[in-house]
Structure 1
Amino acid sequence: MMIRWIWTRESQREIQKVKAQYDRDVSTIKSDMEARYRETLTERRRAAATLELELEKERQRVKGYKQALVSQSQQLMEERKQLQQERESLEEEKQKLVKSGAAGALLHQALEKEQNWYNRATATLKELEGLLVERQNAYCSLIQPRDQRLEMEKNMLLKVVKDPIGPDLDLETDLKDIFKRDKHCAELLNMDRRKNGSLMWVYLKYWQLQITVQKHKRAEEAILGGKIHSDTK
């Protein structure tokens, strides 16, 4: 009986010892897991804060771009409005001169001489429109290489530098502005290339108004410079 009691007591001690060791091991593992969890949580919070900061910077950059684009568009619209007013004013002057007999005939003659220049300028703008549509399609394409678009832009700049109307309209500067700022693309499944682009369409209307005004100014300069003479005696 005594031997059984001693064995039972020793067994209880071993059980208590193992249990105590188990509790210590569990406590150590729990502490280690909590420490790792806190470390992971801290890293994730730090990463989230970094991403939030980068996102805010990107938001500010996009906001700045939108503000610049709105400002640029407003400026172009104001210039377009001014050119429209100048064209209307020139048209009024034209009608007055037409009613004044010899002066009207003189203006008509001068405008006829400038019609060839106007037709060439209009053809150049039409060609440039097609090239801009292709360039914007390349910009919006997910598969077309960037180098190919840059080559298009380079060729367009070379073209307007060599074209006689390029310097008159300052097309080189305006094209560079389009390449830098016009990032508008239609929805992904859009099949109409002419729906791409935003700023480029404003510029195309602006250029067309410019050549209309230029035509009348060139005719006026020809008359004042004595290059056009009346046939009346």
Structure 2
Amino acid sequence: MNNLNDPPRWNINPDTGGRAAAGGGDGNQWNYALLVPMLGLAAFRWIWTRESQKEIQEIRTQYDKDVSIIKSDMEARYRETLTERRKAAAVLELELEKEKQRVKGYKQAMVSQSQQLTEERKRLQKEREALEEDKQRQVKSGAAGAVLQHALEREQDWYHRATATLKELEGQLVERQNAYCSLIQPRDQRLEMEKNILLRVVKDPIGAELDLESDLKDIFKRDKHCADLLNVDRRKNGSLMWVYLRYWQLQVTVKKHKKAEEAILGGKIQFHTK
């Protein structure tokens, strides 16, 4: 019977030394021959792994360093940009505040000027009403009334010329204010219009009598009122100019009566009754 615990040539018996002594070796010698390359391969893998880890660590360290430098540079640039923008914003806020104060000053000046002109207009209106009452009294008094009426008729031509001058000036001021409020009309064109208006007024004797030059300069400097963008009526532009036009018309009426009064008192008009 076969011994199952010791089948033939199934178990590897230790070498008794005979084979080693005889120089034969199909057992341990082959094992040693395979062990040397494996040890070399293991050593190579260990060295390669160690060098690779070292290189990876160096690359990682350099990467962290580069990232830190880039981050620091970006943060510095961000802070610099933020500082510059804050400075620019502060300058703009300061300029805006100055502009607001300037506009506020213009508005206050216009309000004050308008109030003064309104008061002056009321005063002239009262003088006009007083002159009208005096005229009526003079007319009712007979000969004196006839003299006054005659004197007023003599000044009627001057009154018509002055009124026509103001009407023409009104049209010019409407065109000037429209040019000021226009978004497409050049500023130089408006300035040329203002220059021509002043030249005409200076050359006109009636303009000198009414002192229109200084009033016009005040209008060009202070009247900045414009209607809304959808407005098509040019006469809705301007504010101070309309106050001046009413004031000038009252001045013309008052001067007409004063001229007539001066003519009577100066003896230039003599009226004889039959």
Same fold? TM cut 0.5 = yes
Deviation at 1:7, TM superposition (A): 2.4
Partners of 1:120 and 1:64 in 2: CA distance: 38
- Partner in structure 1 of residue 8 of structure 2: none
In structure 1, the gaps of 5 or more residues are none
Kindly report which structure 2 residues correspond to 1:75-224, keeping only aligned pairs within 5 A, or say none.
Answer: 75-224=116-265
Kindly report which structure 2 residues correspond to 1:36-51, keeping only aligned pairs within 5 A, or say none.
Answer: 36-51=77-92
- Given the alignment, which residue of 21, 32, 45 partners 2:73? 32
Residue 72 (structure 1) aligned with residue 109 (structure 2): no
Partners of 1:115 and 1:154 in 2: CA distance: 30
Deviation at 1:195, TM superposition (A): 1.3
- Given the alignment, which residue of 52, 55, 61 partners 1:20? 61
Larger helix fraction of residues: 1
Partners of 1:202 and 1:215 in 2: CA distance: 20
Deviation at 1:147, TM superposition (A): 2.9
C-alpha RMSD of matched pairs (Å): 1.5
Deviations, residues 106-153 of structure 1 (Å, cap 9, x unaligned): 111111111111111111111111111111122222332333322222
Deviation at 1:83, TM superposition (A): 0.6
Return the index of the structure with the highest Cα Rg.
2
Greater relative contact order structure (CA < 8 Å, 6+ sep): 1
In structure 2, the gaps of 5 or more residues are 1-41
Partners of 1:53 and 1:146 in 2: CA distance: 27
Deviating beyond 4 angstroms after TM superposition, the runs of 4 or more aligned structure 1 residues are none
Kindly report which structure 2 residues correspond to 1:6-17, keeping only aligned pairs within 5 A, or say none.
Answer: 6-17=47-58
Deviation at 1:160, TM superposition (A): 1.6
Deviation at 1:224, TM superposition (A): 0.9
Q: How many matched pairs?
A: 233
Deviations, residues 191-224 of structure 1 (Å, cap 9, x unaligned): 2111111111111000000001111111111111
Greater CA drift, 213-222 or 131-140: 131-140
